[in-house]
Chains A and B, each alone.
Chain A
Amino acid sequence: MKVGLFIPCFMNELYPKSCVATLKLLKKFDLDVEYPMQQTCCGQAMANSGCSKDMKSLAYKFVDTFKKYDYIVAPSASCVTMVKEHYEPFFHYNEDYNKVKVSIYEVCEFLHDVLKIEKLNVKFPYKVGLHNSCHGHRTLRLGSASELNIPYNNKLKNLLNLVEEIEIIELQREDECCGFGGTFSVSEEDISIAMGKDRIADHLNSKAEVITGADMSCLMHMEGIIKRDKKPLRVMHITEILAGEF
């Protein structure tokens, strides 16, 4: 099984530790993982700003880079959503895209649904709050959205529960948005900050020591506020906990 590792552009530059954790986590399961060097960006920020036609070339580049792999795995639910949900208009009945579309997975989804892992052999003796990022939660359905009347499941929690000594705390609002939203974080700065602060307060009130999640972009936004406000919370990408890399 040949796996192409897709690392979002900003994670590559700013969060190499989470990327290494993702790679090590995948390697733990004896997979043939490769990181194609020519990859850059899926184009999400541009598309969410309205400029999807401008980033068509990035979509082609992405498909071209990743079409040869059996699976494409990324530590970012929102970038996976971009490829799965928003590339369609550029690729009408295109075989390569259709293959990419069905073989791309967010890393937790991949571990949970494809590898169906049952053991991790790692410990994380902390109180952890899970931030269900919107794209992962509602688009990729990594967890059941609280709005829906469907049986409860949360793939991220299922994985975290494989970690020894971890304590997953309950939040008041399980799946409220953190307010990042790509360029929303800048164009609607006041609301974005207010949402981020509330999300952090929910974790603090529930006595979390660590916030984790499947989207580094949400975590980056909250980390920025946490650091500025000097709050006692650590931020970690979920792969760091699952890989025991912290």
Chain B
Amino acid sequence: MSLYNHPLKAKEFVRNDERMHWHDKALWFVREKRDLASKSIPEWEKLRTYAAQIKSHTMANLDKYLLEFEANAKKRGIKVHFAKDAKEHNEIVYKILKENRVEKVVKSKSMLTEECRLNPFLEKRGIEVVDTDLGERIVQLRKETPSHIVLPAIHLKKEDVAKTFHEKIGTDEDNSDPSYLTNAARENLRQKFLNAQAGITGVNFAVAKTGGVVVCTNEGNADMGATLPKLHIACMGIEKIIPRAEDLGVFTRLLARSATGQPITSYTSHFHSSVENGEMHIVIVDNKRTPFLQSNSYKNALNCIRCGACMNTCPVYRRSGGHSYDYVIPGPIGSTLGSFRDPKIYKTLSFACSLCGSCSNVCPVKIDLDSQLYTHRQDLREKNIISNKKRVTMQFAVWLMNRPLLFSFISKLARKTIPLLPKAVIYNKYNIWGKHRDIPQMPAKSFKEIYKEEFKND
């Protein structure tokens, strides 16, 4: 069985009913906080429209804004690099580190470096990379990937963290008090910050007109990583550009409220040059992003500002966990990004969705996530990636539905026979519907029959 199989991974997650419900409730709590925060701003829906328009405009003129950004960043003494894919990105970062004889790096969460698999790349070359966001640090110590883009360790309980910290940084095995664990992590990280020769950060927004980047965090660790060492490398996807500093306010108002229900992140840090006598580099990565720009169906997915609201609201994500998606970004946005990038590998992701549409409603930049997932399913059929069994079943259903008399006859037969069958015959292993659900009670007559007899000549 393929590793990339959402239903199979979801089954594993659901099996632990208590943990699954804990996960569901934790994320629903965040979704409720987001609702309260969004409703505290009368112009919320207008902000969403405005944000979507700014992003769509920027994406339609991305070449112009990228060049503008590059020119303005250079004027500020920032070194700008372009990478076409993950490999190039990693090599550029490594080259900068090597030139500066860096052995220890502190990193503040960046999903892009996860996407490029930067950590293992650098570690293989003898560089120590320490993730400094608490959640990221926890999953790093456990050698796991983040299961959520904003709450990377949301799949873990405090007891799991206590166990990990006991094994890795020597905390008391039985103490799972969050303050105790946070303090232990902070102390451990302080040494890492002090010894690091370079800091790598992600980028939330890159402002074309100013040539600077903005990083939003709640722990302040990006600031520490970017200012304590002399070398700061900021890594970003091409889609992080916004035109002007004035546009930033639209996004910062939406971002934190959508992500965690906070009015604003604790730290919204602007980096417009290196520290004194230091160096600042920005690596701008494409890595399969440009095909989105050419796709009418999926280009809006590039507008994503990575708030994670679609994950928190997604009833499937909340009950199956981020790791069930097997893609660097989980949830509805991850499903559409993954399906477009590699439909074969991620063929189950567009089906890991009941098409409830809540994701599109919470999205601060109004990405039509549920429609995209619907369209991905049609694409899979076109590319012959869905199973033959499904295709043939659906084709047969259409054939039958085009024959009303035959359909009525078969249905009548089923209604008459099923009640006579022993339970064991109905609830067999091929009847997936019936494993945990009773089938409906068979009525004596169809509506069509009743209509013919009682109503037709009214």
Contacts and interface: CB of A to CB of B under 8 A. Distances in A.
Contact of B377 (A41, A48, A57, A227): A48
A204 interface: no
Interface stretch (A97-105, A108-116, A153-161, A217-225): A217-225
A191 B316 contact: yes
Interface string A175-206: 11101111111111111111110100000000
A52 B39 CA distance: 38
A35 B398 contact: no
A166 to B, nearest CB: 25
A228 B438 contact: yes
Contacts of A182: 355
B319 interface: yes
Given A37-B404, A48-B377, A228 B354 contact: no
A188 B10 contact: yes
Given A40-B401, A46-B398, A149-B45, A13 B354 contact: no
Interface stretch (B82-90, B91-99, B182-190, B439-447): B439-447
A217 to B, nearest CB: 11
A149 B49 CA distance: 12
Interface in A45-64: 45-55, 57-58, 61
A11 interface: yes
A81 to B, nearest CB: 9
A147 B358 contact: yes
Interface stretch (B105-113, B129-137, B259-267, B388-396): B388-396
B284 interface: no
Nearest to B361: A147
A57 B399 CA distance: 9
A54 B41 CA distance: 45
Contacts of A192: 354
A41 B434 CA distance: 23
B398 A55 contact: yes
A93 B354 CA distance: 30
A7 B447 contact: yes
Contacts of B313: 147
Contact of B357 (A9, A12, A40, A138): A138
B121 interface: no
B220 interface: no
Nearest to A23: B455
A54 B45 contact: no
A25 interface: no
Contacts of A146: 35
Contacts of B380: 50
B407 interface: yes
A77 to B, nearest CB: 12
B41 A149 contact: yes
B257 to A, nearest CB: 11
B378 A52 contact: yes
A180 B7 CA distance: 15
B415 A188 contact: no
B320 A191 contact: yes
Interface centre among A16, A51, A195 (most CB of B within 10 A): A51
B149 interface: no
Contacts of A15: 440, 443, 447
Interface in A14-51: 14-17, 19-20, 23, 27, 35, 37-41, 43, 45-51
A173 interface: yes
B356 interface: yes
Interface in B26-73: 28, 35, 38-39, 41-42, 44-45
B386 A16 contact: no
B195 interface: no
B319 A194 contact: yes
Interface string B314-350: 0110011000000000000000000000000000000
A79 to B, nearest CB: 13
A147 B361 CA distance: 6
A51 B401 contact: no
A182 to B, nearest CB: 8
Given A51-B381, A195-B354, A35 B451 contact: yes
Contacts of B414: 13
A179 B440 CA distance: 17
B374 interface: yes
Nearest to B439: A224
Interface in B362-418: 362, 374, 377-382, 386, 390-391, 394-395, 397-398, 401-402, 404, 407, 411, 414-415
A16 B354 contact: no
A51 B394 contact: yes
Q: A-B pairs with the 5 shortest C-beta distances?
A: A224-B437, A181-B354, A50-B377, A19-B447, A147-B361
